[in-house]
Amino acid sequence: MAEPLSVKRKHEEKEEKNGAAGGFLLSEVSLRRVLRESARDKTIFLHGQVNSASGDGTDAVVILEKTPFQEENISELLKEYTKLQLQMSNDIYSTYHLYVPPELNEIKTTVVYPATEKHLQKYLRQEVYLIRETGEDYKNITLPFIQSQSFSIQWVYNILEKKAEADRIIYENPDPANGFVLIPDFKWNQKQLDDLYLIAICHCRGIKSLRDLTAEHLPLLKNILQEGKEAVVKRFGISGAQLRVYLHYQPSYYHLHVHFTALSYDAPGCSVERAHLLSDVIDHLELDSQYYQKRTLTFALRADEPLLKRFQEAGHL
């Protein structure tokens, strides 16, 4: 556990010195609108605009998220707080506003810049609808749609080619066909294990999603499951029995990747209409190589997603 944290801190210190994370200055963002917020998750998704020298604004998505407590900081927090303001008191019960030093009150900030319309849509709160996609629907509706889209997966190639996040890699099996890179998901700040979130990205290119998988991919999938779990127990001390290892269908990025989250963490996107346990996927492919080409898959789409429109046009809703 000590190692990834120290690596992370060094990186953060460097960014702090530069005064900007990757050349991005938050103070240059003007708020256009709130895309979504969640009191439960203590997260807010913002559509911002960064003004260029020429005066025209470029869209950015900024996600602000209050982070979980870190047990090792609690004693310091109780001693070093800056202000404790009484809110109400009744008999043995009282509530307070507690103000603590900024280092103990981090806000995890994720920036997508420049952001495309699709990024804005991804984070915008909308009504959702369930779609039941048959194998034929995939071929006739979803696949042509995916092929017509240009949602860049450059960030994936940057990881695989060590052009980005190379110092964050937890484990790698370099085999071009059956290998993968295991890396912290950018949803995780790596400061506590309660919300552990990693992704395994396969080296092999061209496997878009669950729909493309056949028995031919079993060695790759088994490597991800087994070696990924071993790497997590070795690095973080969390056993395979306490991990949720799954694929999303539909994913946002069409290059095969597998999510590893702490079982006790109610991770975004682990609901039954999106998550497919990797162990179940392996079992299904062992029973029938064409399982994922044949079966009907259910997933939710947001109201203004173009794919929903395609399904509507085909009379599905």
Which residues does the annotation mark as catalytic? Answer: 257
E-state strands within 93-140: 93-99, 107-112, 128-133
Q: What angle do CA 167, 22, 154 make, to 5 degrees?
A: 70
Q: What angle do CA 209, 211, 213 make, to 5 degrees?
A: 80
CB-nearer residue toward ligand M7G: 106 or 185: 185
Q: Count CA atoms within 13 Å of residue 87 on its CB side.
A: 7
Q: How many CB atoms lie within 10 A of CB 255?
A: 18
Task: Spell out the alpha helix ranges (H) of 19-67.
Answer: none
Please, what is the minimum distance in Å from the beta carbon of residue 122 to ligand M7G?
Answer: 7
Please, what is the minimum distance in Å from the beta carbon of residue 83 to ligand M7G?
Answer: 35
Please, what is the minimum distance in Å from the beta carbon of residue 79 to ligand M7G?
Answer: 35
CB-nearer residue toward ligand M7G: 24 or 81: 24
CB-nearer residue toward ligand M7G: 37 or 103: 37
Q: Report the interface residues with ligand M7G, using CB under 6 A.
A: 155, 165, 183-187, 199, 248, 251-253, 257, 269
Q: In Å, how far are 68, 77, 105 from 82, measured between CA atoms?
A: 20, 9, 12
CB-nearer residue toward ligand M7G: 47 or 187: 187
Q: How many CB atoms lie within 10 A of CB 277?
A: 14
Please, what is the minimum distance in Å from the beta carbon of residue 82 to ligand M7G?
Answer: 33
Q: What token pair was written down for 58?
A: 């470029």
